[in-house]
Amino acid sequence: MTERIFVSEDPLAALPPPLEDAPYSAWAPSLALRAYVTRIHLCLEPIARGEEIVERVLPDGTVHVAFTLGDPVPGPRGDDALEAEVHGASVAPVIIRMAGRIEQVGVHLRAGAIGHQLGVPAGEIAGARVSLDALWGRAAQEARERLASAPHGRARVATMEAILRERLRGVDAAPHRAALAAMRRIAEHGGRERVRDVAAHVGVGERRLEQLFHQHVGLSPKAACRLARFRAALAMVRRGSAWSDVVIACGYVDQSHLVHDVRAFTGLTPSALRREFGFLQAASGA
């Protein structure tokens, strides 16, 4: 059994060109979809017979849709495998056990535009794993069949984009600018800014910001700030920074405060997290 950690790309960062022959590749959406989607990812990884990979997926706070085209992948709690599913925004790590031929297509939806693709407020599926059939009906299975028939690589990404564009037909609402601006502000400040200051920056009150985040993000503003700070800390650790430097740079009260967040977002102690980075799954196009 192999254990590894998966850390996704920064949802707001530009993506480098993908390596098509990598087990995991992340693709920037076309200009027509950029307001609605942050990235499309492909996974193609055959696992040797009798072997199992246990992957600890760290939260990134996004809502994403996943189509399984290879062998079934059970849910993180041992629940049934789904051929097409939606994962609501979450701040908890997820453990996935994989065996056989892993072949998936995933779409990470942009904050402020989630309802345009799914038809439900982001907060209604927060922290949940939902069958896409419940949201798209027969179109979910039809989409999976189209993806399965497309060759892995650029052709499959193009097929996924065509499906997403079709979902947007008749949708005349643009992504919610205040929600997206607030998420950008939180990311730019590494989660260190107070929620009331974020609200003031985008021109709304704190209560209204809470409502916008329920509708368009799926996390509360406070949770989004905590996660952004943790991901900033994680980036420093991956570059080799000492935990003591991370505490200061990322605005933690003290080291115990950082330890608490590391445990909450990864399920590991800081020392175990640093040790596990030796088994980090590549999560970018480079």
Q: Check residue 280 and give left, alpha or beta (phi > 0: left; psi -120 to 50: alpha).
A: beta
Residue for token digits 């420093």?
Answer: 236
What share of residues in the chain are helix, strand, coil (percent, to 5)?
A: 40, 20, 40
Give the range of the structural domain holding residue 161, as residue numbers without chain letter: 2-167
Single residue among 167, 192, 221 that ends a domain in this structure: 167
- For residues 111 and 183, membership in a common domain is answered with no
- For residues 6 and 142, membership in a common domain is answered with yes
Q: Kindly state the tokens that stand for 228.
A: 């952004």
d(CA 69, CA 74): 13
Amino acid in the structure at residue 276: E
pTM over 0.85: yes
Report pLDDT digits (tens) over 84-138.
999 999 999 999 999 999 999 999 999 988 988 999 999 999 999 999 999 999 9
Question: What is the pLDDT confidence band of residue 11, given thresholds at 50, 70 and 90?
Answer: confident
d(CA 29, CA 164): 10
Does 286 fall in a domain?
no
Residue 134: CB atoms within 10 A of its CB come to 12
Average pLDDT score over the chain: 91
Single residue among 132, 167, 202 that ends a domain in this structure: 167
Q: Which of 206, 259, 208 shows the shortest CA–CA distance to 230?
A: 259
Single residue among 134, 167, 200 that ends a domain in this structure: 167
Question: Taking CA 58 as the corner, what is the angle to CA 34 and CA 144, rounded to the nearest 5 degrees?
Answer: 50
Report pLDDT digits (tens) over 238-267.
888 999 999 999 999 999 999 999 999 999
Three-state DSSP class for residue 270: helix
Query: What local confidence, expressed as pLDDT, does residue 278 receive?
Result: 55
Question: What is the pLDDT confidence band of residue 181, given thresholds at 50, 70 and 90?
Answer: very high
Report pLDDT digits (tens) over 15-68.
888 887 889 999 999 999 999 999 999 999 999 999 999 999 999 999 999 999
Q: Kindly state the tokens that stand for 19.
A: 């390596």
Work out the percent of the chain whose per-residue pLDDT is above 90. 76
